[in-house]
Amino acid sequence: MNRSPVIIIGGGIGGLTLANALHHHSIPFELYEQAPELTEIGAGIGLSEAPITILEKLGLAALLREQSTNLKQVFMPDKKLKIRRQIASSSEIICIHRARLIDILKKNLPADKIHLSKKVTGIQVHKESCIIRFSDGEEISALQTVAADGIHSVIRQQLFPEISVRYIHQTIWRGISSESLPDQFENSYLEIWDEGLRFLALPFEKGQTFWLGVKPSLPGGRDNPETVIDELLDLFGNFHPALKNLINTSGPVLRNDMADLGTQKRTWYKNKVVFLGDSIHATTPNLGQGGCQAIEDAWCLALCLRKYGDDFHTACRKYTQMRSRKVMKIVADSWRFGKAAHSKNPLFHYGYRFILTHAPEYLIRRQEKFLNDLGYLDKL
Ligand SMILES: Cc1cc2nc3c(=O)[nH]c(=O)nc-3n(C[C@H](O)[C@H](O)[C@H](O)COP(=O)(O)OP(=O)(O)OC[C@H]3O[C@@H](n4cnc5c(N)ncnc54)[C@H](O)[C@@H]3O)c2cc1C
């Protein structure tokens, strides 16, 4: 009997990884994306070992390694680049341009299964199927739907209106500088907490540097593209000239209000619709794990769909059981980390910074092991 295709809504990191994983297991799919092309805005993304391992299983890791930079260590200096702590990575971590990652993820997918400029506006869920409506007026009937439509998912808002976006009241700016970091930081990731601000820098393709700056602020602010660089130079005015130079030599700067979907218990599916990635468990970017977890979701869901065949309900139940404990801990840790980095109380701020720079190495390795663990998928 022919299996009905899995309908994927959203062609971001999670949706495209799922498409690859289904294709890999010969499970038919159709992917619908609202944008006229599959790409991502100009910024970098860090990936840890678990998603790299998954992309390896999908035959994409060679390209990934070719087009990314490898981060061999983390430095935690102060704003003047005086080293407080240096930790060698015990596992593979890479930084890649988001557009490159999307190019890699779409490379092996059959073009006729990808439908662009298809914006979902509503969904009607029945016991055995659902009707998906698009902005161009088309309606399709689907027996198995995966919502991978990001933090502002219209499908989640309709099926789980009780889950709402939670702002941490921190704004993050991202830019790509044409300059490199000083030589001593080659292949290193810099994490700086000072003056209640946070500044991160990662080596990027073609000798460039990807940087991120964070400050506490209310959501909803807007930047003037003409003045944003000067404003950031003012904000990080006391930071080392090499860091300010990164800001000063950047192309367009992106701004986001950091947010997640909270940690209250939830199911990840309803009837014949299941959620994946940011659409159901968006996390603040403090630990750089949202995309990593979307990739892990996708792989786990594909394995469940392979194992349980047309028993969609059991596949979704197993997938949620297997994924939610790890993901919800990451969401909670990431929120706490962000709060600690920007605590308004200087005593707490310096206390947390002390813990970060003096935490015993075994605790850091334990966290790495937790993030990198894919052993729980062996049962599939
Ligand atoms: C500042 C910042 C830094 C980050 N850094 C990292 C990092 O270093 N490492 C990491 O792992 N993660 C990082 N993340 C998180 C990561 O970007 C997200 O977790 C990841 O993109 C989630 O993937 P997704 O596929 O679930 O959702 P998305 O990437 O949001 O993709 C959703 C897709 O669905 C489409 N879509 C939305 N609505 C509709 C609709 N109605 N109809 C059809 N299509 C629709 C969108 O156009 C999009 O293509 C960061 C996030 C931010 C904000």
Q: How confident is the model at residue 1 (pLDDT cuts 50, 70, 90)?
A: low
User: In 70-99, which positions are buried (b, 16+ CB within 10 angstroms) versus exposed (e)?
Assistant: ebeebbbbbbebeebeebebeebbbbbbbe
Is pLDDT larger for residue 1 or for residue 197?
A: 197
The atom of ligand 1 lying closest to the CA of 32 is: 43
Across the range 156-178, mean pLDDT stands at 97
Residue nearest to atom 41 of ligand 1 (CA): 120
d(CA 352, CA 346): 10
Contact between 150 and 165 (Cβ < 8 Å):
no
d(CA 237, CA 232): 8
Across the range 273-296, mean pLDDT stands at 98
Cα–ligand 1 centroid distance for 92 (angstroms) = 22
Contacts for 223 with CB less than 8 Å, ≥ 6 apart: 173, 231, 253, 255
Cα–ligand 1 centroid distance for 332 (angstroms) = 18
Q: How many C-beta atoms lie closer than 10 Å to residue 218's C-beta? A: 10
Cα–ligand 1 centroid distance for 295 (angstroms) = 11
Each residue of 16-29: pLDDT tens digit? 999 999 999 999 99
Residue nearest to atom 27 of ligand 1 (CA): 150
Ligand 1 lining (C-beta closer than 6 Å): 9-15, 32-35, 45-46, 119-120, 148-150, 154, 172, 174, 256, 277-279, 285, 288-292, 294
Each residue of 114-137: pLDDT tens digit? 999 999 999 999 988 999 999 999
Each residue of 51-61: pLDDT tens digit? 999 999 999 99
Each residue of 323-378: pLDDT tens digit? 999 999 999 999 999 998 887 777 777 777 787 788 888 888 999 999 999 999 99
The atom of ligand 1 lying closest to the CA of 154 is: 41
Cα–ligand 1 centroid distance for 90 (angstroms) = 27
For the chain, the C-alpha Rg in angstroms (whole number) is: 21
Cα–ligand 1 centroid distance for 35 (angstroms) = 13
d(CA 57, CA 66): 16
Between helices 312-341 and 290-308, what is the axis angle to 10°?
A: 170
Percentage of residues of the chain with pLDDT beyond 90: 89
Each residue of 37-85: pLDDT tens digit? 999 887 999 999 999 999 999 999 999 999 999 999 999 999 999 999 9
Task: List, in order of start, the domains of the chain with CATH numbers.
Answer: 6-55+96-166+262-349 (3.50.50.60)
Please provide residue 329's backbone torsions phi and psi, each rounded to the nearest 5 degrees. Answer: -65, -40
pLDDT for the residue numbered 212:
98
Ligand 1 pocket, mutate which of 17, 18, 45 (most atoms under 8 A from CB) = 45
Cα–ligand 1 centroid distance for 229 (angstroms) = 25
Cα torsion 83, 85, 90, 93: sign = negative
The atom of ligand 1 lying closest to the CA of 212 is: 1
DSSP letters for 230-270: HHHHHHTTTS-HHHHHHHHTBSS-EEEEEEE-------SEE
How high does pLDDT run on average in the chain?
A: 95
Contact between 254 and 108 (Cβ < 8 Å):
no
pLDDT for the residue numbered 358:
84
* Residue type at 357 in one-letter notation: T
Q: How many C-beta atoms lie closer than 10 Å to residue 230's C-beta? A: 12
Residue in 301, 306, 330, 332 with CA at minimum distance from that of residue 318: 301
